Amino acid sequence: MPENNLNIAIIGSGKWGMNHVKTASFLLGPTNVTVCDTFPGAKVKVDEVSKEIKFTHDLNEIINNNSIAGVIVATPAETHFEVTEKLLLGGKHVLVEKPITLISHEAAKLIEIAEVKSLTLMVGHVLLFHPAIIKLKQLIDEGKIGELQYIYSNRLNLGTIRSEENSLWSFAPHDISIIQYLCGNDPISVYAKGADLVQSGIEDTTLTYLAYPNNVHAHIFVSWLHPFKEQRLVVIGEKGMFVFEDSLKTEKLKFYKKGFLVVNGSVEKFESEYEVVSFENTQPLAEEHKHFYNCIINNTKPLTDGPHALEVLKILEKATESIKSIIKNY
C-alpha cells in the first residue's frame, strides 16, 4: 500500500498530540488524517492545522472505520492501556506514546494481543529516530570507541512541573530507551533515589543507576528543578568518548579521543582535541511516523516495539520501587 493511500487516526490532540496531527497531515495529506479527542473544544486547534482533517469525539467511530489502518495514541499515560487495547482488538495497527502503559503486565497483554492479531504495536520512544542517536549507534557498532564502559544522561530544566507523575516518569523513558538501544542489553541491576522538594511525594529530581552485563554502567539524572536546560548524553568507551548535547545550537555531537590505556602494567592517559561529528538533518517525529507507516505497509517489526517499551517500563518500575524504599545505611 503506498503511503498516500494510508489513512491514520490520532487519539488525543493535546500539547504533544498536536505535533502528531501536524506531522501526519504534512506527510500523508490532511484528508488522510482523522483526529479523535474527548475534549469539547478540541476541534478548533485541529481546524487551525487544516479544515480537511476529519474530527470525532467518539473512539468507536475510529474503530469502526475500515479505511483507517493505523492509529496514534497521544492521550494521557493512564489511558494508554484501555485505548490501545480497544484499538488492537478492533484490528488497528497502533503507535502509542511513551510510556506504553503504567503497569508492565498491561503492556505484556498489549504485546500479546498485537502478536495474536498480527498487528504492529509501536511505542513513541522518539529519540531512537533522532539522527544523532542513529549516528551514535552506528559509530559504536563500528567500534569507534571500542567496548562500552559508561553512559550517562542529564535531562534538566526549569521545565513543566507535573502533579500526575514525577520527573522520572516524565523524562527518563527517553534516556532509558536510548541507553537500552546503545547497550543492546537489559540491565542486571537498577537503583534510584529522588527528592520531592516542590510537591510532597512527587520527585522533582531523580538519579537512576543501571548496571549492565560486561561491566557496563550508566546513570540518568533528570530534574525539572534546575536553573537551565541541559540535555547531555555522554558515552564512554575504552578507545574514546562521545558527547551529544541536544540543547546546544551547533556542534551537538562530539567525539573525544581520550581515555586510559594499560601498557605493560602501567596506566597511561591519551587525549586529543574533540572532533565534531556530523549527522543527517532529519526531524525525529517525522522519521518515527514514516517508520510506523512502513511497518504497517510492509508488515515489519518496529524498532521501538512492544518488548523494547516493556523493558523501559520494567526499569521505570524498578527505579520507582528503589526511590520509594527507605534505606537507612548509617
Ligand X SMILES: NC(=O)c1ccc[n+]([C@@H]2O[C@H](COP(=O)([O-])OP(=O)(O)OC[C@H]3O[C@@H](n4cnc5c(N)ncnc54)[C@H](O)[C@@H]3O)[C@@H](O)[C@H]2O)c1
Applying CB under 6 A, which residues contact ligand X? 11-17, 36-39, 42, 59, 74-77, 79, 83, 97-98, 124, 126
Q: Which is nearer to ligand X, 72 or 216 (CB)?
A: 72
Q: Which of 31, 34, 6 is nearest to 20 (CA)?
A: 34
Q: Which of 6, 21, 141 is nearest to 70 (CA)?
A: 6
> Measured between alpha carbons, how far is 2 from 18 in angstroms, rounded to an integer?
24
Q: Which is nearer to ligand X, 79 or 149 (CB)?
A: 79
CB of 44 vs ligand X, minimal distance in Å: 12
Residue nearest to ligand X as judged by C-beta position? 14
CB of 151 vs ligand X, minimal distance in Å: 20
> Phi then psi for 270, rounded to 5 degrees?
-125, 140
CB of 100 vs ligand X, minimal distance in Å: 10
CB of 296 vs ligand X, minimal distance in Å: 19
CB of 291 vs ligand X, minimal distance in Å: 14
| Torsion angle in degrees (nearest 10) through CA of 136, 140, 142, 147 | 170
Q: Which is nearer to ligand X, 16 or 270 (CB)?
A: 16
The DSSP H or E segment spanning 191 is strand 189-195
CB of 42 vs ligand X, minimal distance in Å: 6
CB of 104 vs ligand X, minimal distance in Å: 16
Cell 526499569 belongs to which residue? 315
Q: Compute CA distances 150 → 126, 214, 235, 243, whole Å.
A: 23, 11, 6, 12
Q: Which is nearer to ligand X, 11 or 145 (CB)?
A: 11
Q: Which is nearer to ligand X, 93 or 98 (CB)?
A: 98
Q: Which is nearer to ligand X, 3 or 82 (CB)?
A: 82
Distance of CA 223 to the CA centre of its chain: 17
- Residues paired with residue 191 on neighbouring β-strands, in sequence order: 209
CB of 67 vs ligand X, minimal distance in Å: 19
> Measured between alpha carbons, how far is 97 from 16 in angstroms, rounded to an integer?
9
Q: Which is nearer to ligand X, 22 or 237 (CB)?
A: 22
Q: What angle, rounded to 10 degrees, do the helices at 42-49 and 17-28 form?
A: 30
Q: What angle do CA 297, 291, 165 make, to 5 degrees?
A: 125
> Measured between alpha carbons, how far is 295 from 98 in angstroms, rounded to an integer?
18
249's grid cell: 545550537
Q: Which is nearer to ligand X, 255 or 292 (CB)?
A: 292
148's grid cell: 562500552
